[in-house]
Amino acid sequence: MFINNKTKLEHSQNFLHSKKLVSELIRESNIGNKDIVIEIGGGKGIITEQLAKKCNKVYVIEYDLDLYENLKVKFSNRKNIEIIYGDFLEFELPKEHRYKVFSSIPYNITAAILSKLTSSCNPPEEIYIIIQEEAARKYAGNPYNRESMRSLLLKPYFDFKIIRKLKKTDFMPVPKVNSVFFRIQKRKNSLIKQDKIGLYYDFISYIFSKSGKDMKSRCKDIFSYKQIKRLSRDIGFKITDSPTYLNYEQWLKVFQYFIIGVSGEKKKLVYNSYSKLLEEQKKIDKIHRSRKKVAFLIL
């Protein structure tokens, strides 16, 4: 009994209980009858059931053995539902096919799930997730929150939208935190040209990894005082603002200026900043996750 409770807590299980709500959420998405959809954590199948009526095929990955076995039985006669046992984080995403994700995700692995999906070489066309409100705001940045390094690194490729807020009582057991229905949509074309995207990643990582609280101190090695003063006037920020005060559009303008107005020597200062950041992140992830590798192939 004790072991069961512990397992359930680790798997972050707050279940939706209203079929009406689930069908509204699916209606608010762009899931259609041609779509192949991955559901992370099927739980008791409340989303799976209705997704399968709307789309071509649903692949459900469930990490709780009891829930997995119940789902297998419940959907044994449904040809367009495939239930897979395992950890989504060890699951191999489709390499070529178009697909979407629809899921009420386990909140304890939000960052790992979103990092896996958005950094894939073939990311989902659309990700519809129920997620903790605070996390959604951080990912989306402006206009829901101030921008973060994460939102600025993702925005060239993805568009974010909080579709609606949910009530705590929409879940059983009732969670302590607020939740939202959130959409991450892959852009048809990146907002930054392919040959400049590496430099943009390095540039943003450099500024956000630098010490100093404001734009003036973080940019001092790449822009002269005169340049940062002019940029602040033209783009509309204060040199004493924190980098998170500038929105994505303003950052694009600062980056454009960095491309044309800064010497090659100064550009070199930002090189490899993104890969250094990833290395540090990897070290942190290694500490957090020492899971056994189980790979699943789908599609």
Ligand X SMILES: C[S@@+](CC[C@H](N)C(=O)[O-])C[C@H]1O[C@@H](n2cnc3c(N)ncnc32)[C@H](O)[C@@H]1O
Output 71 or 152, the one with its CB closest to ligand X.
Answer: 71
Q: Which stretch binds ligand X (CB under 6 A): 10-18, 118-126, 155-163, 207-215?
A: 10-18
Q: Is 33 within any annotated ligand binding site?
A: no
User: Strands, DSSP E only, in the chain?
Assistant: 15-16, 36-40, 57-62, 81-85, 100-104, 126-132, 158-166, 171-172, 179-186
Q: Which two tokens stand for residue 221?
A: 């090695």
86: which residues sit within 8 A by CB, 6+ positions away? Answer: 61, 63, 294, 296
Q: Is 15 in the site for ligand X (CB under 6 A)?
A: yes
| Nearest residue to ligand X on Cβ basis | 41
Q: For residues 180 and 131, is the Cβ–Cβ distance under 8 A?
A: yes
Q: Which stretch binds ligand X (CB under 6 A): 28-36, 41-49, 116-124, 270-278?
A: 41-49
Q: Is 141 within any annotated ligand binding site?
A: no
Residue 123, helix vs strand vs coil? coil
One residue of 18, 21, 23, 46 binding ligand X per CB under 6 A? 46
For residue 125, list its beta bridge partners. none
Q: Is 81 in the site for ligand X (CB under 6 A)?
A: no
Output 64 or 202, the one with its CB closest to ligand X.
Answer: 64
Q: Is 87 in the site for ligand X (CB under 6 A)?
A: yes
User: Which sign does the torsion angle of CA 152, 153, 159, 161 carry?
Assistant: negative
One residue of 109, 135, 152, 252 binding ligand X per CB under 6 A? 109
Q: Is 11 in the site for ligand X (CB under 6 A)?
A: yes
One residue of 35, 42, 57, 250 binding ligand X per CB under 6 A? 42
Greatest Cα pair distance in the chain: 70
Q: Please name which of 163, 162, 167, 166 lies closest in space to residue 145, comparing C-alpha atoms.
A: 162
Q: Is 49 in the site for ligand X (CB under 6 A)?
A: no
- Helix or strand run (H / E) with residue 206: helix 194-209
Residue 248, helix vs strand vs coil? helix
Q: Is 119 within any annotated ligand binding site?
A: no
Output 14 or 250, the one with its CB closest to ligand X.
Answer: 14
Q: Is 40 in the site for ligand X (CB under 6 A)?
A: yes
Residue 82, helix vs strand vs coil? strand
One residue of 25, 36, 38, 47 binding ligand X per CB under 6 A? 47
For residue 207, list its beta bridge partners. none
- Residues in contact with ligand X, counted by CB under 6 A, come to a total of 23
One residue of 62, 126, 147, 170 binding ligand X per CB under 6 A? 62
Q: Is 231 within any annotated ligand binding site?
A: no
Q: Which stretch binds ligand X (CB under 6 A): 87-95, 143-151, 161-169, 268-276?
A: 87-95
Q: Measure the CA–CA gap between 244 and 141, rounded to whole angstroms.
A: 9
State which amino acid sits at residue 289.
Answer: R
Q: Please name which of 113, 195, 185, 110 lies closest in space to residue 155, comparing C-alpha atoms.
A: 185
One residue of 26, 38, 41, 183 binding ligand X per CB under 6 A? 41
Binding residue positions: 14, 16, 41, 62, 87, 104
Residues that bind ligand X (CB under 6 A): 11-16, 40-43, 46-47, 61-64, 67, 87-89, 104, 106, 109
